[in-house]
Amino acid sequence: MNLYIVNESSVVDDSEISAILPALTVYTRHIRNWWGSMQPGIFFQKPLVKEAWQIIIADDSDVAGALGYHDFTPGGRPISYVFAKTDMQYGYDWQITLTHEVAEMLLDPYIMRCEQTGDKRFHALELCDPVEADSLAYTITAGGVTMRASDFITPMWFVPNAPAGSVFDFKHHCAAPLQVLAGGYAYYWENGWKSEDHLGQTYTPEEFAIKEPGKTRLARYARERA
């Protein structure tokens, strides 16, 4: 599988994107080591075929409350957007948004996968949401260039009674399964889609967008599945 990054932003230079491609490849290997995901070829260019997988780096968000999101086109092509100017406006790092969307695009490209975490509860397979705060990110240096990358949860995060010693996220920030850390959220289905913050408070997707304007990286579950 090939993943094409296209720069349509006025605030991120092409050279910045080209420079982090080796680090981005290392990041996908970190994900694969935990999740057995595909190892994509990553290219910084417009795709050669219409239905290629793409990540568009743009300026301003077109969805309320979104720093970036992953979606798929009417033709079934997985596609993600990173809103670099919106990131900067709210004090966030576009590289963390980029890696966030890459991680979740690899594991759930068609926005359909969930993990059952209760009798009637299913958590969306969103790898970065519970640990998406920029303060939890880590650095990867490759090719002489350092990139900031989003932390991500492991499969054990979805196991309610995980055994002692389990690792719940790549950087060992979470102390328990299903834990949401400050600055993050969890997205789950239980008689409708809900978002849960680190305080355990729940919101509809619309309420959460109002609560955290310009501060979330998301998937288009609510639109596709409402």
Report whether 188 contacts 119 (CB < 8 A).
no
For residue 114, the 8-state DSSP code is E
Q: Tell me the two tokens of residue 56.
A: 């568009």
What pLDDT, in 10s, does the model give residues 118-168?
Answer: 999 999 999 999 999 999 999 999 999 999 999 999 999 999 999 999 999
Domain ranges in the chain are 2-216
pTM for this predicted structure:
0.92
Give the pLDDT score at 151. 98
Q: How many CA atoms lie within 13 A of 128 on its CB side?
A: 32
> Could you tell me the two tokens for 177?
């399964």
Distance CA 40, CA 37 (A): 9
Taken as a whole, the chain contains a residue count of: 226
Predicted pLDDT of residue 222: 38
How far apart are alpha carbons 85 and 88 in whole angstroms?
5
Paired with 221 in beta bridges are: none
What's the pLDDT tens digit per position in 32-58? 999 998 788 999 999 988 889 999 999
pLDDT range class, residue 208, cuts 50, 70, 90: confident
State pLDDT tens for residues 79-121: 999 999 999 999 999 999 999 999 999 999 998 999 999 999 9
Residue 75's Cβ-count burial label (10 Å; 0-12, 13-18, 19+) is exposed
Give the pLDDT confidence score for residue 37 in this predicted structure.
84
First to last CA, the chain: 29
Q: Which residue type occupies 106?
A: L
- Whether the CB-CB separation of 132 and 217 falls below 8 Å is answered with yes
| Cα–Cα distance measured from residue 27 to residue 24, given in angstroms and rounded to the nearest whole number | 5
Token digits for 116?
A: 């059952």
- pLDDT for 8 equals 98
User: In this predicted structure, what is the pLDDT of residue 50?
Assistant: 82
Which pLDDT score, from 0 to 100, does residue 224 have? 34
Q: Using 50, 70 and 90 to split pLDDT, how confident is the model at 64?
A: confident
Q: What is the DSSP string of 26-91?
A: HHHHHHHHHH-----EEEES--SSTT-EEEEEESS-SSTTEEEEEEE-TTS-EEEEEEHHHHHHTT
